[in-house]
């Protein structure tokens, strides 16, 4: 029977992708991998296989062995550490792998490189600099991991004394971004491009910690124009998630994730099915993106569920 492997199966993105595939790909076995055991992903996937953490020795070798044994039609790599690791494995990451081009991975997994790419393409972004370049008149600033994601590892820093602690211990792994108060003005935007056709979705989101618990579909010409400019600057197929805030009416990007995101299932349920579209494209059963018009005002809430292991 045909099969698909999804890595990072116990994370929120892995769980969402597993649910999407199990609901939509009835003639496929869906296998997950994770370094943190089988549950809760075992409740969704046909089986869970152990893989070391992507930062551990042996990750690539174990992934290669698993792919050789299962011989899946597709492999979907989910987590950023895994994407960073496999971006150097061109000979291994064949047509089976659903990953963005290496240039996009290397650019957008790095917040400083993301900022410079956006500026080179005349696109508005939150000023982002190495923490050693912050000037005294720029406080407060958000200090965050240069390679982190999902609103993790960040702090609003208000003075040079606190910033000096980061300078001493950072090993160049932190950046500073200009601060825009973001109460009720943060947006997450999905873009997918297949054979030169582009679909995008603009969602205003509510966060609890690092998790999106609510999205609302909105129409905003300024944001839409910005997303189109990004799409036109990338000449090949891709799927990304753009995070931004509004400064007055001007959208400013603070992060681009070159992967599927934590809102994948939320937007899948209302018809923006980028995971499924990319899977079908890789399987050569989708040549053109469908027309996709999601009405503004639609809201999706994320709830929690309980799983009983028998």
Stretch(es) of the chain classified as CATH 3.30.470.20: 183-301
CATH 3.40.50.20 range(s) for the chain read 3-99
Handedness of CA 109, 115, 117, 121 (dihedral sign): positive
Query: What pLDDT does residue 233 have?
Result: 97
Whether the Cβ atoms of residue 7 and residue 24 lie closer than 8 Å to each other: no
CATH 3.30.470.20 corresponds to the domain 183-301? yes
- Domain 3-99 = CATH 3.40.50.20: yes
pLDDT tens series, the chain, 310 aa: 899 999 999 999 999 999 999 999 999 999 999 999 999 999 999 999 999 999 898 999 999 999 999 999 999 999 999 998 887 776 666 778 999 999 999 999 999 999 999 999 999 899 999 988 988 888 899 899 898 665 556 788 898 888 888 888 766 688 999 988 766 789 999 999 999 999 999 999 998 877 899 999 999 999 999 999 999 999 999 999 999 999 888 899 999 999 999 999 999 999 999 999 999 999 999 999 999 989 999 999 998 888 888 7
Judged on CB neighbours under 10 Å (0-12, 13-18, 19+), 55 is exposed
Q: What is the pTM assigned to this prediction?
A: 0.93
CB atoms under 10 Å from CB of 95, counted, come to: 9
Please list, residue by residue across 29-48, b when 16 or more beta carbons sit within 10 angstroms of its beta carbon and e when fewer do. bbbbbbbeebeebbebbeeb
Give the pLDDT confidence score for residue 74 in this predicted structure. 96
Helix (H) or strand (E) run with residue 85 in it: helix 80-86
User: Nearest-5° angle of CA 228, CA 232, CA 237?
Assistant: 105
């Amino acid at each position: 029977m045909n099969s698909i492997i999804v890595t990072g199966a116990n994370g929120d993105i892995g769980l969402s992708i597993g649910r999407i595939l199990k609901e939509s790909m009835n003639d496929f076995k869906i296998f997950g991998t994770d370094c943190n055991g089988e549950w809760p992903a075992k409740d969704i996937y046909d089986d869970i296989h152990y893989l070391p953490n992507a930062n551990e020795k042996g990750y690539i070798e174990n992934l290669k062995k698993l792919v050789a044994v299962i011989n899946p039609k597709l492999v979907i790599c989910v987590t950023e550490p895994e994407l960073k690791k496999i971006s150097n494995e061109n000979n291994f990451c064949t047509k089976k792998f659903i990953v963005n081009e290496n240039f996009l991975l290397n650019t957008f997994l790095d917040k400083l490189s993301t900022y410079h790419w956006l500026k080179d393409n005349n696109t508005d972004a939150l000023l982002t600099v190495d923490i050693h370049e912050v000037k005294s008149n720029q406080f407060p600033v958000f200090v965050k991991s240069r390679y982190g994601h999902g609103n993790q590892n960040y702090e609003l820093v208000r003075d040079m004394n606190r910033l000096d602690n980061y300078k001493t211990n950072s090993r160049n792994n932190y950046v500073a971004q200009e601060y825009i108060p973001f109460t009720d003005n943060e947006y997450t935007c999905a873009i997918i491009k297949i054979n030169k056709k582009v679909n995008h979705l603009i969602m205003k989101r509510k966060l609890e910690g690092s998790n999106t618990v609510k999205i609302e579909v909105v129409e905003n010409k300024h944001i839409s124009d910005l997303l189109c400019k990004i799409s036109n600057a990338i000449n090949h197929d891709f799927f990304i998630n753009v995070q931004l805030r509004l400064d007055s009416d001007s959208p400013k990007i603070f992060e681009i994730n070159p992967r599927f995101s934590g809102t994948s299932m939320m937007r899948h349920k209302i018809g923006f099915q980028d995971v499924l579209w990319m899977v079908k494209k890789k399987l050569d059963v989708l040549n053109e993106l469908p027309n996709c018009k999601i009405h503004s005002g639609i809201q999706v809430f994320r709830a929690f569920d309980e799983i009983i292991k028998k």
